[in-house]
Amino acid sequence: MNKKSAKQVALVTGGARGIGKAYCEGFVSEGVSVVVADINYKRAQETASELEKIGGQALAVEVDVASEKSVKKMFENILSYFERVDFLVNNAAIMLDVEKPFKPFWELEEIEWNRVMSVNSAGVYLCCKYVKPIMEKIGGGKIVNITSDAIWKGYEGQLAYFASKGAVAVMTRCLARELGKFNINVNAIAPGLTISEAVESSEFMMETIKPIVTEACAIQKEQTPEDLVGTMLFLCSSKSDRITGQTIVVNRGVVMP
């Protein structure tokens, strides 16, 4: 693996498709080199190739954010290629089943609970743990965590997912306190229902959930992954240098915390 020089490097977990891919494209549009990190390495490679075709500089890496060994190896691979990470977007997350996402908590198996929490919450902790010394060395950085507007609602049948995303919101504030002294900003985006590839492929989400959510929105227009990119780029820009520990809701006004 040959080293590449880059003025700024962004790491996006879960970056191979959907919202994560849109974040990667947003960084490339700003001239930022991108690390496409995903548990599906083949898909990450395809996305990195697409980014390079539009003039970007991209590296695909395989990672399971729930595994410390995997996260550590990911950062070793990044440093051997780019030598820096300026921006971290903790986007990787899972639901139990996008086609049948609602399940009473008393029917949850412990292994299901643990898997959701380990990816959605522990994954954020692990990536922040290993990016901290890298950002400290280069004088600072920006971390953007992805939570959910659902943490202000509370729905039946999604305890594991919503609990994991609620944890991310709290972690964002705690991390902001701890990392501020190193000139590292930590903020979060809380998206509402976004028509990503995963959602679009689910008949249940599109035919049952989408109409209900849209009816409750102040702005009754479909929300796509591209609608989240502007907020993410703002939180990674110098214009947000005095903003940290905040969670910004992007959901068309269905929740106004």
**Going residue by residue through the chain (257 aa), what tens digit of pLDDT does each one get?**
456 667 999 999 999 999 999 999 999 999 999 999 999 999 999 999 999 999 999 999 999 999 999 999 999 999 999 999 999 999 999 987 756 667 889 999 999 999 999 999 999 999 999 999 999 999 999 999 999 998 998 878 889 999 999 999 999 999 999 999 999 999 999 998 888 888 777 777 788 778 888 888 889 888 999 999 999 999 999 999 999 999 999 999 998 88
The answer as to whether 1 is a domain residue is no
Tokens, residue 119:
């990816």
Q: Is 256 within a domain?
A: no
Residue 72 CA neighbour count, 13 Å, CB half = 3
Q: What is the set of active-site residues? A: 161
Rounded Cα distance between 115 and 122, Å, is: 10
Query: What's the domain range around 116?
Result: 9-250
- Amino acid identity, position 89: V
Q: Decide if 147 contacts 188 (C-beta within 8 A).
A: yes
The amino acid occupying position 76 is: E
Q: Give CA–CA dist 221/74, Å, rounded.
A: 38
User: Among residues 85, 185, 183, which one has the least CA distance to residue 145?
Assistant: 185
Strand partners, 9: 33
Residue 127 domain flag: yes
* Within-domain flag for 40: yes
Count Cα atoms within 13 angstroms, Cβ side, for 62.
5
Is 193 part of any domain? yes
CATH of the domain at 64: 3.40.50.720
With contact defined as beta carbons under 8 Å apart, do 23 and 90 qualify? no
Only one residue has tokens 């300026």, namely 86
Domain membership flag for residue 2: no
Q: Is 3 inside any structural domain?
A: no
* Domain assignment of residue 32, yes or no: yes
Buried b (16+ CB within 10 A) or exposed e, 42-79: ebbbbbbebbeeeebbbbbbbbbbbbeebbebbbebbe
CB 223 within 8 A of CB 251: yes
Residue 183: CB atoms within 10 A of its CB come to: 14
Q: What is the DSSP string of 114-174?
A: HHHHIIIIIHHHHHHHHHHHHHHHHT-EEEEEE--GGGGT--TT-HHHHHHHHHHHHHHHH
What domain count does the chain have? 1
Q: What is the CA radius of gyration of the chain?
A: 17
